[in-house]
């Protein structure tokens, strides 16, 4: 596209609307002439339905966003994983014996953490919409970092339970809140790759946290303290520091990027024009809700009653279950071969590395082909032949063969970023999108809780019945992906049949009825679901 000679900071250009073809095309990317942002939208002063720009200019803006925003969001995700994983690392330092608690107490603590994590999801989304991600996300980091370093001073079962509960409450909602923030800076086509980068950070953080733990736990005895004392204290304080930096660094919106640590804006005025209009052309709904506009119970009802999302909720419940018990089995396999606990933990790194590669490759391919369902289908199907191979290996020996298969299962192409992006691009309402993302994340966590119960002690050491269950769930997930895709196709065709019966004038009038659009959202006849 050729760049227009516009004033970079210009207000909305008022052009007469004519009923030509461009105004009656369907799909949210073709609604920029019909949907104008609200007056309180943070980037409204940069909106221009007719502005154009050179592709290289847009690439330059995206690269700057990756450098300034994506890189720091990944650092924040690192802080999340640091405090999620340090408890399991502490087990290698006689943590249970020092506190005189049992493995059952430990399991109860992790369950308490998960329950509090789930309970916090929706309240955090309400707070994020009310006060903005610039303030809520860093505050959460400081809070869970504070609880994390306070764990260094726990003395028994009661204080262990209390700190687990507070960490769960402080971390719940952070991931969907971060995803919501990313949607204000990236188009739907770009989002899945950026979300894959977030989850790649979690995998990298698992390896780094294990290495940090290996060194910090050697401090056992310093000051008369156990190694886990220093692990919780130092990693918790590091997260608090990252949270404070985030508070001083994060932008309020694409047109309000100045902060204490960045006294100059990230973008020039011309780049802000490009940034705002590329985002609104991809998803005009973002201009209908200000960043600090609070969500309501009406938005929860809208999110939960939207049948186009039900299949994705079901996918979130079952699709990730098969891989859940495998990581624990991987460690058991390595310990059976004769490796120490530390070495066994270190040998989980190949699975993390494989998943980083497969997940990013799947996300790039999904963005390139602008397709979601079959890419997710491939990610799920990846595990089936590997589980079948586990069942086919004779009992006894062949531990390294099992290690290889389980590493490949653990490293499957993780399609969670794709489903998160899929949800985002099919909800034409930012507040509803926040609730939908939180709902999906809660359901995913429930699925992980179910997955942790598949491998039972009576089925050890090869868990053949558990693997058969995993294969069955994989098959059910494949059916769910196809069914969701076909249901969205059905909804699109149903809309298209009605749309074809309308005259050009009726279509134009319908498309410019912004009041009805804000009520109907993705139910509008000119909105098309992506799959």
Tell me: pLDDT of 232 over 80: yes
Tens digits of residue pLDDT in 391-429: 998 887 777 888 889 899 999 999 999 998 899 889 888
Contact 364, 193 (CB under 8 A): yes
Mapping DSSP to helix (H, G, I), strand (E, B) and coil, where does residue 344 land?
Answer: helix
Classify residue 7: in a domain, yes or no.
no
Residue 315 lies in a domain: yes
302 and 269 assigned to the same domain: no
pLDDT tens for 350-378 read 888 899 999 999 999 998 898 999 999 99
C-alpha separations of 526 from 201, 291, 294, 299, 428 in Å = 38, 25, 27, 22, 12
Does residue 191 contact residue 183 with C-beta atoms inside 8 Å?
A: yes
Q: Which of 270, 287, 304 is at the close of a domain? A: 287
If one counts the domains in the chain, the total is: 2
Pair (387, 271) in one structural domain = no
Asked whether residue 67 is assigned to any structural domain, the reply reads: yes
Q: Does 373 lie in the same domain as 330? A: yes
Phi, psi values for residue 148, rounded to 5°:
-65, -45
Residue that terminates a domain, selected from 228, 258, 287: 287
Same domain, 197 and 332: no
Question: Can you give the pLDDT at residue 16?
Answer: 40
Please check whether residues 247 and 337 belong to one and the same domain: no
- Dig out the tokens for 298 from the structure: 């009406």
- 263 and 316 share one domain: no
Q: How do residues 334-350 score in pLDDT, each as one tens digit?
A: 666 667 656 766 777 78
In a domain, 450, yes or no: yes
Question: Would you put residue 393 in left (φ > 0), alpha (ψ -120 to 50) or beta?
Answer: beta
Helices 71-90, 157-171: axis angle to 10 degrees equals 160
Tokens of 215: 């060194």
Within a domain: residue 49?
no
Q: Tell me the two tokens of residue 88.
A: 């399991």
| DSSP state at residue 32 | T
Query: What CATH number did the domain enclosing 494 receive?
Result: 1.20.1250.20
Torsion of CA 10, 16, 18, 24, to 10 degrees: 40
Handedness of CA 360, 365, 370, 374 (dihedral sign): negative
The SS3 call for residue 313 is: helix
Instruction: Note whether 226 and 278 are same-domain residues.
Output: yes
Do residues 382 and 439 share a domain? yes
Q: CA 508 to CA 483: how far, in whole Å?
A: 33
Range of 210's domain?
59-287
52 part of a folded domain? no
- Whether residues 438 and 315 share a domain: the answer is yes
Regarding whether 257 and 370 lie in a shared domain, the answer is no
Report whether pLDDT(470) > 60.
yes
In this structure, the answer to whether residues 266 and 308 fall within a common structural domain is no
**Tens digits of per-residue pLDDT, 276-298?**
999 988 888 888 877 777 777 88
End-of-domain residue from the set 287, 318, 350: 287
Burial class (CB in 10 A: 0-12, 13-18, 19+), 412: buried
Predicted confidence (pLDDT) at residue 19 exceeds the cutoff of 90: no
Quick one: pLDDT at residue 342?
64
């Amino acid at each position: 596209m050729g760049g227009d000679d516009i004033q970079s900071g210009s207000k909305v250009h008022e052009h007469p609307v004519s009923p030509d073809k461009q105004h009656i095309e369907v799909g949210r990317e073709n609604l920029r002439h019909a949907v104008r942002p609200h007056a309180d939208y943070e980037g409204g002063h940069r909106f221009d339905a007719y502005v154009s720009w050179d592709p290289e200019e847009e690439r330059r803006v995206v690269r700057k966003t990756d450098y300034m925003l994506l890189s720091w969001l990944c650092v924040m995700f690192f802080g999340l994983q640091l405090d999620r994983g340090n408890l399991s690392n502490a087990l290698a330092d006689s943590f249970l014996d020092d506190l005189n608690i049992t493995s059952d107490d430990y399991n109860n603590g992790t369950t308490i953490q998960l329950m509090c994590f789930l309970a916090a999801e929706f309240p955090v989304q309400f707070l994020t919409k009310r006060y903005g991600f610039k303030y809520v996300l860093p505050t959460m980091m400081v809070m869970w970092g504070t609880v994390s370093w306070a764990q260094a001073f726990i003395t028994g079962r009661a204080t262990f339970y209390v700190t687990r509960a507070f960490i769960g409450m402080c971390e719940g909602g952070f991931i969907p809140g971060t995803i919501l923030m990313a949607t204000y800076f990236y188009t739907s086509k770009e989002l899945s790759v950026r979300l894959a980068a977030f989850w790649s950070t979690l995998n990298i953080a698992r390896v780094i946290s294990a290495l940090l733990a290996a060194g910090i736990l050697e401090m056992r005895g310093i000051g008369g303290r156990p190694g886990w004392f220093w692990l919780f204290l130092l990693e918790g304080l590091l997260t608090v520091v990252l949270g404070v930096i985030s508070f001083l660094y994060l932008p309020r919106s694409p047109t309000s990027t100045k902060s204490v640590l960045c006294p100059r804006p990230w973008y020039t005025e011309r780049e802000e024009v490009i940034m705002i209009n590329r985002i609104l052309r991809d998803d005009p709904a973002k201009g209908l809700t200000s960043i600090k506009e609070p969500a309501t119970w009406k938005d929860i009802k809208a999110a939960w009653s939207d049948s186009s999302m039900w299949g994705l909720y079901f996918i979130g419940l079952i699709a990730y279950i098969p891989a859940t018990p495998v990581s624990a089995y991987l460690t058991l396999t390595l310990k059976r071969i004769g490796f120490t606990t530390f070495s066994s933990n270190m040998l989980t790194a190949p699975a993390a590395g494989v998943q980083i590669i497969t997940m990013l490759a799947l996300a790039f391919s999904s963005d390139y082909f602008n397709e979601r369902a079959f890419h997710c289908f491939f990610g799920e199907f990846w595990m089936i032949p590997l589980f079948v191979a586990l069942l086919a290996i004779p009992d006894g020996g062949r531990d390294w063969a099992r290690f290889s298969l389980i590493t490949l299962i653990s490293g499957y192409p993780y399609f969670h970023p794709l489903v998160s992006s899929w949800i985002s691009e099919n909800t034409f309402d930012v507040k509803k999108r926040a609730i939908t993302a939180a709902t999906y994340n809660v359901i995913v966590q429930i699925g992980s809780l179910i997955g942790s119960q598949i491998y039972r002690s009576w089925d050890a050491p090869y868990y053949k019945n558990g693997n058969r269950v995993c294969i069955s769930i994989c098959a059910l997930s494949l059916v769910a992906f196809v069914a969701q895709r076909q249901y969205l196709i059905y909804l699109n065709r149903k809309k298209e049949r009605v749309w074809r019966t309308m005259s050009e004038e009726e279509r134009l009038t319908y498309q410019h009825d912004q009041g009805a659009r804000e009520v109907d959202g993705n139910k509008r006849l000119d909105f098309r679901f992506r799959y």
